[in-house]
Amino acid sequence: MSASCRSLIKLQKLRIFPKAAQTLSCGARVNIFPTNQNRSYCAEVKKEATNEPKQDTEDVKSEDKRPEAEAKRTDTWAEAELKEKEDKQRRQKEADREQTIKVEILNASMKYVTKHGWSKLALASGAEDLGYISIVSGLFDRGGEELVLHHIKTSNKKLDAWMIEEVDRYKKAEEKLPITKFIKAATKQRLLMNEEFIRGGVWGEALALMAKPQNIPESVGCLQQVCDDIWHRAGDTSADLNWYSKRMLLAGIISSTEVFMIQDLSQNFEETWKFLDRRFEDISGVPQLGK
Amino acid sequence: SAQKEADTRQMLDRMIRVDHAGEFGADRIYAGQHAVLRNSSVGDLIQQMWDQEKHHLATFNKLLPEHRARPTALLPLWNVAGFALGAGTALLGKEAAMACTVAVEASITEHYNDQIRQLANTDKEAHKDLIEIITKFRDEEQEHHDIGLEHDAELAPAYQALSGAIKVGCKAAIWLSERV
């Protein structure tokens, strides 16, 4: 036995390279193929070697075997590929199903937030409403923060739908869209979506949760998204640095007004709207905005 | 498939951003070359190529808000660097200016080819318009490349070094603009 064979058997005993050891047991000449294919190929070769009588010369036999073995080998690969694709589809479907369930639970938990705060208890109550056991709230590893994010994201989507309607309304009336007025109205609309939680005294907690370092990327991303949506619907076509200044100024206005709104006790949030007007006045001096 | 949509959005966002940055840079390079060589024998030629680049830039200025892509934050940098590159190579002589054109256009052609391949592999039908536009621009950039070679680009001083350095710079600019 050669030195390499001996070392491979040693490795087999140590269970370090079991695949290399299998190669050895099939015969050293086939160790250029990937292992599972290797084994089936070896199986085919062994079967053909035992079944057919050794009448013809070795050369002719090996050439006959090769195209058949070749075809069988391709089938095994095609099968493996198909199986992989089906696996991937199955995993995707499961992930989608889990996502749908999570969204249902989040929607159902919203009404418990003023009672229980942004917490797993609210999630558990929502889950129980839908007929799941309360431990399903463990699906949400960040707990209440996922509720806040869900509220923010659904509000942003609602705002986008509202803005599309507004733009359509102006288009039907064949009026030019008044940019500042539209942006102010959109901001008001978006801030009012938090009203229920502000009156319930839990929005401050929500903002604090969103300011945690591990949540900042996602919450800032949502703010960026809403500013981009508002400017896009307002008809912004800037292709230079104005793109950035417009959105950053709007982001500043929205976030400062949101914080002001938490402590506003006036009727219909009048003080907040006055604060918002003052913020818009502040930036009206910036020439690039071209409002 | 929500993931696939998000991936496509990111791919398109990056493509339009980097193409816009590229045409903006090319516009500035030709501006720099024209500023120095406007009264020389290649002045008119540079003007012609510059006009085509201006058309490219205008197209991407329109495509950017259409696809809701974000322009690169490095635009002021490309503004200065492009003009400096154009003017700098023009000051080395008109062959060097042509060499710069050849190097930049070669980079851009290769980059557009990669993009066309990527778009066609993702979804040829959905991105048909964009593929058409990029193909047309790639052909025009290839033309500029050939014009540069015709006009003695290879006679420029230190042609290989100059060309190599510019190509590396273009690759770096493309990588940065895709992300920043």
Longest dimension (CA), chain A: 103
Whole-model pTM: value is 0.78
* A30 — pLDDT class (breaks 50, 70, 90): very low
Q: What pLDDT does residue A65 have?
A: 64
Integer Cα distance of B72 and A159 in angstroms: 27
- What DSSP string describes B85-100? HHHHHHHT-HHHHHHH
Q: Which of A240, A242, A247, A288 to mutate against chain B (most B CBs within 10 Å)?
A: A240
The alpha-carbon gap from B139 to the nearest alpha carbon of chain A, in Å, equals 24
Residue pLDDT, tens place only, A255-284: 999 999 999 999 999 999 999 999 999 888
**What is the rounded CA–CA span in Å between residue A180 and residue A131?**
47
Give me the long-range contacts of A10-18 (CB less than 8 A, separation at least 24).
none
pLDDT, tens only, B112-126: 999 999 999 998 899
Mean pLDDT lowest among A13-17, A132-136, A161-165, A169-173 = A13-17
Reduced 3-state DSSP string for chain A:
CCHHHHHHHHHHHHCCCHHHHHHHHHCHHHCCCCHHHHHHHHHHHHHHHHHCCCCCCHHHHHHHHHHHHHHHHHHHHHHHHHHHHHHHHHHHHHHHHHHHHHHHHHHHHHHHHHHHCCCHHHHHHHHHHCCCCHHHHHHCCCCHHHHHHHHHHHHHHHHHHHHHHHHHHHHHCCCCCCHHHHHHHHHHHHHHCCHHHHHCCCHHHHHHHHCCCCCHHHHHHHHHHHHHHHHHHCCCCCCCCHHHHHHHHHHHHHHHHHHHHHCCCCHHHHHHHHHHHHHHHHHCCCHHHCC
Higher pLDDT, B164 or A27: B164
Residue of A nearest to B68 (CA): A232
Lowest mean pLDDT among A46-50, A133-137, A218-222, A232-236: A46-50
Residue A3 touches chain B, beta carbons under 8 Å: no
The residues, ordered by sequence, that sit 6+ positions from B77 with a Cβ below 8 Å of its Cβ are: none
Residue spans of chain B under pLDDT 50: none
pLDDT value, residue A86? 94
On the question of pLDDT at A84 being above 60, the answer is: yes
| CB-closest option in B64, B73, B76 to A239 | B64
Contact A241 B73 (CB under 8 A): yes
Interface touch A232/B65, C-beta < 8 Å: yes
Residue B19: closest CA among B128, B102, B141 = B141
Query: Which of B68, B70, B74 is the best mutation test for A, with the most CBs of A within 10 A?
Result: B70
ipTM here: 0.90
pLDDT above 60: residue A15? no
Provide the token pair at B109: 């052609």
For the cut 80, the answer to whether the pLDDT of residue A13 exceeds it is no
Span A97-125, pLDDT tens digits: 999 999 999 999 999 999 999 999 999 99
Which chain B residues are Cβ-neighbours of A244 within 8 angstroms? Answer: 73
Integer Cα distance of A154 and A164 in angstroms: 16
**A239/B71 touch (CB, cutoff 8 Å), yes or no:** yes
Residue B113 pLDDT: 97
